[in-house]
C-alpha cells in the first residue's frame, strides 16, 4: 500500500510539472498576441508557410521526373525493370472499373511478376493518411478528400477518374417527415459522413435551396449508423451512397435530390484515382499499363454487363441485379473519354481541376480547411501521362 502511495505521488509531481510548463507556455504566448483579428491573420500566414514547404518538395519531385525522362522515352515497351516488385493499391467497395478489374483478376493477369497488394478502405480520409504515410502507392478517394489532400500538399496526384458520381449518392428523406423539397428540411435532422462527397453534396444542396447551415441539424454518421438511426427514427433525412441508400428507400424513404441532379447544376463529385507522386515518377510504365487494365474492365462492362455485375455481386455479397443497377448509376469513363477538356483533359484548363478548386473553396467557407490554394495548384495535382494512347 505504502509503495503504491509513493508511486502515485511521484506521478502527481510529474503531472504537476507538465501542467506548470504548459501554463507557463500558454501565458508567455498569450502576452504575444492579444487581438483575435491578428490571430486569424497569423493563422493564414501559417497556412502559407505550409504551402511553401510543400512547394519546395514538389520542386524536388519535379527534378526527379526530369532526371528520369530519358529512360521513359527510350523504352516504350515496358520491360520488367520498369515495373515495381510490389504495388499496394488502396481500393474501396464501389462498383466501378477498379473493383471489376480486381474481381476479374485483370491486374494480376497483366502483371504476373508484380505482387499486387489490395488494401480495402472505407473512407477517403483513411486513403489520404495512408498515402501521406507511404502505406499505399495507389488509392481511390472521393473528390472531396482529394481536394483536402491537395490543399494540404499531400504528395499525390490524380491519374484517373474511376467514376463520376450519379444516382448512387442521394438525399433520402423519411416519407413520414412530409418533406417535398430540399428547402422543406428546415429544422430537421439530416445525417451524412463528414468530409465525404455526400457531406459536400448535402451542404451544397442546402445552400442551393437557400438554407443556412444553422437551419438544419447536420449530424456526422457513417453509413451503417445512418441506417440504424433511420430505423430508430432518430434522423429525418440522410445524404448517403449505395448500398445503404437502397435500404433507406426500402424503409419508407423517398429521394429529394441526387448527386446526378446536383452535377447538372455544376456541383460535381467523383471517385478519383490518386497515385503517390514519387511512385508515378519512378514507374510511369506501370501506371500507364494499369490505366490500360481499367480501360479493359470498362470495355468488358460495356460489352457484357451481366457478367461484370455477377463478378462484382459475388464479391460484395449481393445479387447481380442489384449490382448492375448500382453500376449503371455511376458514370464510367475510359482514358480516351477522360482526355476531353470536360474531364481531366491536360490537367491545365480542365473542368475537373475547376471542380477540385471549387470544392476546396467551399471547404474554406465551411471552416474545414484554413485556405485553398489557387487553381494552378489543383491543375498541378492532375497528371495525364497515363491517359495518353
Point out which residues bind another protein (CB under 8 A): 1-2, 4-5, 8, 10, 12-22, 25, 29, 33, 36, 39-40, 42-43, 46, 49-50, 53-54, 57, 125, 128-129, 132, 148-149, 152-154, 191, 194-195, 213-214, 217-222, 224-225, 228-229, 232, 234-235, 363, 367-370
Looking at the Cβ atoms of 82 and 234, the one nearer to another protein is 234
Give min distance, CB of 45 to another protein, in A.
9
Give min distance, CB of 374 to another protein, in A.
19
Looking at the Cβ atoms of 218 and 280, the one nearer to another protein is 218
> Is 116 within 8 Å of 84 (Cβ atoms)?
no
Identify the CA nearest to 254 among candidates 365, 313, 325, 173.
Answer: 173
Looking at the Cβ atoms of 54 and 273, the one nearer to another protein is 54
Neighbour-count burial of 38, counting CB atoms closer than 10 A to its CB (0-12 exposed, 13-18 middle, 19+ buried): exposed
Give min distance, CB of 377 to another protein, in A.
15
Q: Is 329 helix (H, G, I), strand (E, B) or coil?
A: helix
For 116, half-sphere exposure in the C-beta direction (CA atoms, 13 angstrom radius) is: 21
**Distance between alpha carbon 381 and the CA centroid of its chain, in Å?**
14
Give min distance, CB of 156 to another protein, in A.
12
Q: Name, in order, each residue with C-beta under 8 angstroms of 18's C-beta and a sequence gap of 6 or more.
A: none
DSSP structural state of residue 215:
G
Looking at the Cβ atoms of 9 and 85, the one nearer to another protein is 9
> Is 351 within 8 Å of 341 (Cβ atoms)?
yes
Residue 306 is placed in which grid cell? 451481366
Give min distance, CB of 34 to another protein, in A.
10
Looking at the Cβ atoms of 1 and 81, the one nearer to another protein is 1
Looking at the Cβ atoms of 193 and 284, the one nearer to another protein is 193
Distances (CA, A) of 254 to 180, 237, 247: 9, 9, 11
Give min distance, CB of 37 to another protein, in A.
9
Amino acid at each position: 500500500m505504502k509503495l503504491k502511495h509513493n508511486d502515485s505521488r511521484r506521478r502527481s509531481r510529474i503531472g504537476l510539472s507538465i501542467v506548470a510548463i504548459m501554463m507557463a507556455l500558454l501565458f508567455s504566448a498569450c502576452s504575444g498576441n492579444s487581438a483575435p483579428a491578428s490571430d486569424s491573420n497569423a493563422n493564414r500566414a501559417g497556412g502559407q508557410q505550409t504551402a511553401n514547404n510543400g512547394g519546395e518538395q514538389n520542386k524536388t519531385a519535379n527534378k526527379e521526373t526530369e532526371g528520369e525522362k530519358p529512360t521513359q522515352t527510350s523504352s516504350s515497351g515496358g520491360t520488367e525493370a520498369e515495373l515495381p516488385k510490389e504495388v499496394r493499391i488502396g481500393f474501396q467497395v464501389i462498383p466501378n472499373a477498379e473493383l471489376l478489374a480486381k474481381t476479374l483478376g485483370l491486374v494480376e493477369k497483366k502483371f504476373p511478376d508484380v505482387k499486387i497488394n489490395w488494401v480495402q478502405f472505407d473512407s477517403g480520409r483513411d486513403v489520404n493518411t495512408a498515402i501521406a504515410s507511404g502505406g499505399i502507392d495507389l488509392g481511390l478517394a472521393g473528390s472531396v478528400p482529394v481536394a483536402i489532400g491537395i490543399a494540404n500538399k499531400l504528395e499525390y496526384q490524380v491519374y484517373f477518374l474511376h467514376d463520376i458520381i450519379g444516382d448512387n449518392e442521394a438525399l433520402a428523406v423519411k416519407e413520414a417527415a412530409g418533406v417535398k423539397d430540399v428547402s422543406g428540411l428546415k429544422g430537421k435532422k439530416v445525417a451524412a459522413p463528414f468530409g465525404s462527397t455526400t457531406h459536400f453534396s448535402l451542404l451544397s444542396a442546402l445552400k442551393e435551396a437557400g438554407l443556412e447551415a444553422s437551419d438544419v441539424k447536420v449530424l456526422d454518421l457513417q453509413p451503417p449508423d445512418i441506417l440504424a438511426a433511420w430505423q430508430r427514427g432518430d434522423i429525418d433525412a440522410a445524404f448517403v451512397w449505395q448500398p445503404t441508400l437502397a435500404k433507406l428507400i426500402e424503409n419508407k424513404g423517398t429521394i429529394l435530390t441526387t448527386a446526378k441532379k446536383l452535377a447538372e447544376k455544376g456541383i460535381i463529385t467523383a471517385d478519383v484515382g490518386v497515385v503517390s507522386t514519387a511512385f508515378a515518377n519512378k514507374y510511369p510504365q506501370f501506371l500507364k499499363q494499369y490505366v490500360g487494365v481499367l480501360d479493359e474492365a470498362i470495355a468488358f462492362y460495356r460489352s457484357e454487363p451481366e457478367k461484370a455485375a455477377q463478378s462484382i455481386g459475388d464479391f460484395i455479397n449481393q445479387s447481380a441485379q442489384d449490382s448492375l443497377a448500382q453500376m449503371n448509376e455511376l458514370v464510367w469513363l475510359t482514358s480516351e473519354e477522360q482526355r476531353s477538356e470536360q474531364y481531366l483533359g491536360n490537367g491545365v484548363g480542365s473542368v475537373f481541376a475547376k471542380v477540385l478548386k471549387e470544392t476546396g473553396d467551399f471547404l474554406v467557407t465551411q471552416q474545414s480547411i484554413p485556405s485553398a490554394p489557387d487553381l494552378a495548384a489543383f491543375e498541378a495535382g492532375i497528371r495525364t501521362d497515363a491517359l495518353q494512347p
